[in-house]
Amino acid sequence: MKKTVTLLALLISISLVAQQQIKQIDAIVNSKLSNTDPSLFVGVVKDGKIIYEGYKGLASLQHQVKVDENSRSNIASTAKQFTALMILNLALNNKLSLEDDIRKHLPKLYPNVKEKIKIRHLINHTSGIRDYADLMSIQQKPWWKQVGMDNDDVINDLLSKQEDLAFTPGSRYMYSNSGYTLLTKIIEVASGQNFHDYSGEFFKNLGMNNTAFLKNYMNIIPNQALPYSDWGDGVWQQYPMMTNLYGDGFLFTTLKDQLIFEQAIQNAKFNNNRLLIESQSSIPNSEINTYGFGLELKDRLNYNSVHHSGGTGSYHSQMIRFPKERLSVFVMSSNSKLWSGYIADEIARLFLPKKEEVITYDKRLEKVSSNLKKAQLLGQYLSPENYLIRIEEKEGVLTWRNGNNNPIELTKEKQNLYSISYNKKVKVGFFNDKLVMFYPSGKSSVYPKIPKEEITITDLESYVGEYHSRELDVTFTINYNNNKLTIILEGLNQELELEVLNRNELLVFDYILKIERDQFNRVTNILLTTNRVLNNKFIKKTNLKFQPKIFTKNGSINVTTIGSRSGESSQILLTENYPNGNEIWSKQFGGKSYDKASSILATKDGYLIIGSTSSYGKGNYDMFIIKTDKKGNKIWQNTYGESGNEYGYSIEKVSSGYILKGTTQKCSSNADVFNRSCITNVWFVTIDENGKELSNEVLEEIE
């Protein structure tokens, strides 16, 4: 009898606790919105049972329809777990392997990529395939404005035209919706079924009878909770959703269906459900373990957890699972003024005792340099992901800045050791040639310091030109006028000023432009990085310029090629000009045949002109160098080359003298010009101060 009373008292105690938690959840929900606001759905599963299922707000503001257990909302990227689950199911049934190269199923994609792009790379965002939504933003075509756009459009119009990847598959993590768009097509190939038919049967087998991926935005979705946004003026407006995308998101579902799935996850081990058990862990053989089958595998609230969020327009959702505690919280909404993630965390805290983070810093934290002055800390550093960050000083305070993001204040803790202002547990330590970011988990990231480079007018002029992306069919133009470097982006009607971070990196908006150069140090391409698009190549369309101009205090020194009236020869013209372009003096160089100029370099006592000549030398064309004094009077000239064609393009100062950069051509025949084959290679010639050849080197073949 005593044991029965004790058990009854325990059950009553547990029941009271549960009732108290339900009241607390109700209070949280009621604090977020009124009954006349757009919808909010909240559910909690504990120990395999649904202990809370709440609905508040309106599914339709137009018709004042309340949300209830039949209402369907779009959970956006939280849907990725189901697309990944279908892939895992096909793998367990030997319809495919996670190690398959995606080209086994989609053979027309990425023909130029030699590395394997494995299915598992798509699942955990390590494929290097760029995000289609951000690619479209570069085109100035927001995805949500593309009426009727579907997965086939994304693949055929965007992804199939990409000539390379952002990085080698498996080498890093970059969240990309494109991977899940491709997974829907792999599911079709492997299953032999249309994706919507296959996924429909799949959800039915899970007991989720009111869950389906979007097929056509014009179709009626029964009991749909419509999406609403308040753009800051206090007026609700319905968010336009006119695409037919699916797989990476766009899953319409009820709260009840999601809670049924959470119950199945919690009970999977009792039911020996291999599919659901394996889906909650990292992917076998994967290079990362922080993202698995459409799920983030990172601690939350300092507890081991599995979770994912989603946001599409005004729709958003958050799912959090705490496996050891057998607790799941699911939140979704069609109200843009709320955020499911914060609400889910707030509810989870009601069930979880507060847990302090275990702090174990990398031992290098104790070796932070104490000898550096503040001025030595300033400058540019390169992140492990190849992003440039800047340490700057403003009003005596150090700041951390990445791209065009707002500067983050660094709080000094001791000499050359700082903490991030918004998270004191994250430390930044400075060493002689690097900084190290220290995390309380024990992880650390090293950022090497980049030597400071002075940007010259020649550098600024070298950026000028028109750049085109073949994959996106987008062009932008860079100009340099009135001491300003500007860019005109296709689709925008304004000219924007570019910020020059260093000689090889420019910045505008959230676009990072990285300069690529050829063997002659000329700008050939610009790699554009923004958000989830890394290193999208834009090729310089304008003719590549050499360095034919040197600016002086009084104007400029210019070198060019002038032809004869009969067109049977050409000579090299050297001029000094006033700032307005009027000529001060001029000199001509060359012989009776063709002599051409490419670049000019200032020396202590004059100038060096580099070009090509058929008037002098041994071959058809030889590399040609002319040394002059400051008034343009020739001091000496020399040629370099053999019987073929050698051309001079640019010249650089080195400790032993100068390096001449050009090309050398070797042909199978010097006589039969119609049937011979020729190979052109980059050719570097090193000379001393007087033009004597010290060495030469034939480098790689060029087109």
Using only C-alpha atoms, the chain has a radius of gyration, in whole angstroms, of 33
Q: What is the CATH number of the domain that holds 478?
A: 2.40.128.50
pLDDT of residue 545: 58
Judged against a pLDDT cut of 90, whether residue 639 lies above it is answered with: yes
- The answer to whether residue 32 is domain-embedded is no
Shared-domain flag, residues 465 and 561: no
Question: Which helix (H) or strand (E) segment is 216 a member of?
Answer: none
Q: What is the CATH number of the domain that holds 217?
A: 3.40.710.10
**Average pLDDT for residues 29-47, to the nearest whole number?**
97
- The answer to whether residue 648 is domain-embedded is yes
More confident residue, 478 or 680: 478
More confident residue, 294 or 466: 294
Report yes or no: 143 and 136 within 8 Å, Cβ to Cβ: yes
The region of weakest confidence among 249-253, 343-347, 514-518, 677-681 is 677-681
Domain ends where: 424, 450, 476?
450
Shared-domain flag, residues 587 and 659: yes
Share of the chain above pLDDT 90, in %: 78
Shared-domain flag, residues 120 and 150: yes
**pLDDT tens, position by position, 57-66:** 999 999 999 9
pLDDT of residue 5: 53
Domain ends where: 419, 450, 481?
450
Report yes or no: 644 and 594 within 8 Å, Cβ to Cβ: no
Cα–Cα distance measured from residue 678 to residue 664, given in angstroms and rounded to the nearest whole number: 10
**Average pLDDT for residues 249-272, to the nearest whole number?**
97
Query: DSSP string of 504-573?
Result: TEEEETTEEEEEEE-TTS-EEEEEEEETTEEEEEEEE-SPPP---EEEETTEEEEEEEEE-TTSS-EEEE
Q: What is the pTM of this model?
A: 0.82
pLDDT of residue 544: 56
- The answer to whether residue 19 is domain-embedded is no
**Average pLDDT for residues 481-495, to the nearest whole number?**
86
Model confidence band, residue 671 (pLDDT cutoffs 50, 70, 90):
low
- The answer to whether residue 41 is domain-embedded is no
- The answer to whether residue 574 is domain-embedded is yes
Shared-domain flag, residues 494 and 378: no
Question: Which helix (H) or strand (E) segment is 119 a member of?
Answer: helix 119-123
Judged against a pLDDT cut of 80, whether residue 268 lies above it is answered with: yes
Name the DSSP class of 148: T
**pLDDT tens, position by position, 211-230:** 999 999 999 999 999 999 99
Query: DSSP string of 396-464?
Result: TEEEEEETTSPPEEEEEEETTEEEETTEEEEEEEE-SSEEEEE-TTS-EEEEEEEPP-PPPHHHHHHH-
Q: What angle do CA 645, 649, 653 make, to 5 degrees?
A: 125
More confident residue, 128 or 697: 128
Shared-domain flag, residues 344 and 221: yes
Shared-domain flag, residues 344 and 250: yes
How many C-alpha atoms does 488 have within 13 Å on its Cβ side? 9
Q: What angle do CA 166, 172, 175 make, to 5 degrees?
A: 70
Name the DSSP class of 363: G
Domain ends where: 478, 509, 540?
540
Mean pLDDT of the chain: 92
Q: What's the token pair of residue 455?
A: 């940007």
Shared-domain flag, residues 63 and 114: yes
Shared-domain flag, residues 484 and 593: no
Model confidence band, residue 542 (pLDDT cutoffs 50, 70, 90):
low
**pLDDT tens, position by position, 600-624:** 999 999 999 999 999 999 878 999 9
Name the DSSP class of 261: H
- The answer to whether residue 17 is domain-embedded is no
- The answer to whether residue 28 is domain-embedded is no
Nearest-CA neighbor of 42 among 322, 324, 320, 299?
A: 320
Calculate the dihedral angle through the C-alpha atoms of 310, 312, 314, 316, rounding to the nearest 10 degrees: -10
Shared-domain flag, residues 613 and 509: no
More confident residue, 465 or 420: 420
More confident residue, 462 or 362: 362
**pLDDT tens, position by position, 80-130:** 999 999 999 999 999 999 999 999 999 999 999 999 999 999 999 999 999
Nearest-CA neighbor of 78 among 275, 299, 255, 284?
A: 255
Q: What's the token pair of residue 111?
A: 């023909």
- The domain of 686 spans 549-701
Q: What's the token pair of residue 412?
A: 């000094």
Shared-domain flag, residues 503 and 396: no
- The answer to whether residue 342 is domain-embedded is yes
pLDDT of residue 443: 93
Shared-domain flag, residues 526 and 435: no
Domain total in the chain:
4
Shared-domain flag, residues 608 and 525: no
